[in-house]
Amino acid sequence: MKHFKRNAGIFILLICMVFSVFVGCASSPETEGDISSSSEWMKDVAGETKLSSISIPGTHDTCTNHVGMSYIFQCQDTDVATQLRNGYRYLDMRLALSGKGDKQTLILKHNFSKCKKTGSLFSRALTLNDVLADVYSFLEEHPTETVIMCMKAENGKDDVVEVQKILYDAIGKNEDVWYLSNKIPTLDEVRGKIVLATRFEDKMNVGDSRSGMHFYWDDQGDRTIVDVPYAESSVNDTETLFVQDRYNYAVSDKINAITKSFEGCQASDESFFLNFTSTSGSGKVGHPKKYAKSINAYLNSYEWKANTCYGIVIVDFATRDIAENIYKTNY
């Protein structure tokens, strides 16, 4: 029986890998809408507005449009450049060390699965520098915008100091395009720039002026249903972070958590509010695309209110219409 279970597990993984190849080779869908307005929606937001007081569309596991074992690990079907054109301004970056010595670099992963540059079976891994090139290009073309890049060390075995070193080496090549302070900025302070946020401790001790905004929170993978689905932590001594990231909830429970977070959103000039709409479900093997279909339909039917801050709403399989629903609440 043990041998049967082991062989069955191997068979399932092989099926997922074969399925990933065919899905990965498919073309990325484009959504309909006004590309120019989605590319420059921040130009209509007052410059003195704090970034935390703006409704911002974001993408979860941003770089997984091409990823190994896509049935389990794919969370997007558009690349970073398309996401930015579609209006998304928060990127969820999962970094991992690759290579050794002088050739060591940062690649993107989801869990243990590598994100890839293309959908080809033989594609190389997608690197941080690949993504930065797309973000720099977008900001050069659209200087009214800003992009929050939230960096997480995805591999728990990686030395965070090494991750930071390579990250700061990359930043140093274009440091004038970055906002690095651990303080919530106004929009005018960061137009045309990347805002650094980090989900790891400052092991290099670079200090608050260069560490990026501290986006740390306790893991919310517990399947227990709670009345208040979001939790509070701190950006710094005076500014707060609220996060809803119940990533192991069934779809109906996740929608309830999203709704409660919309209704209880505490985004303000002193508080960021991150509301993840993504889930891997309550089973043993997740299927993000299946769950996103139901959740995204809910987001498209939700009665969004104008002149209301919903914080940063972070979605799977992000489309332009969802982004528009979110950012138009700023007006």
pLDDT digits (tens, 9 = 90+) for 221-279: 999 999 999 999 999 999 999 999 999 999 999 999 999 999 999 999 999 999 999 99
CB neighbours of 44 closer than 8 A, spacing ≥ 6?
Answer: 330, 331
pLDDT at position 313 is: 99
Helix boundaries (H) for the chain: 2-24, 35-39, 70-73, 80-85, 128-141, 160-172, 187-190, 251-263, 288-301, 320-327
Cβ-proximal residues to 29 (8 Å cutoff; 6+ apart), any chain: 77, 78
Q: Are 89 and 41 in contact (CB under 8 A)?
A: no
Rg (CA), the chain: 19
Chain centroid offset of residue 48 CA: 25
Q: What is the pLDDT of residues 113-166, one digit of tens each?
A: 999 999 999 999 999 999 999 999 999 999 999 999 999 999 999 999 999 999
Helical pair 288-301 and 320-327, crossing angle rounded to 10 deg:
40
d(CA 144, CA 20): 37
Angle between helices 288-301 and 251-263 (to 10 degrees): 40
pLDDT-above-70 percentage for the chain: 89
Q: Summarize the confidence of residues 42-61 as an average pLDDT.
A: 98
pLDDT bracket for residue 291 (50, 70, 90):
very high
* Per-residue pLDDT at 14 exceeds 80: no
Neighbours of 8 (CB within 10 A): 10
Please determine, for residue 47, whether its predicted confidence score (pLDDT) is greater than 60.
yes
Q: Helix, strand, coil proportions of the chain in percent (round to 5)?
A: 35, 20, 45
Domain range list for the chain: 2-26+46-330
Looking at CATH, the fold of the domain delimited by 2-26+46-330 is given as TIM Barrel (3.20.20)
83 confidence band (pLDDT: 50, 70, 90): very high
Q: Residue 17: is its pLDDT beyond 60?
A: no
Q: How far is Cα 167 from Cα 174, in angstroms, rounded to an integer?
A: 12
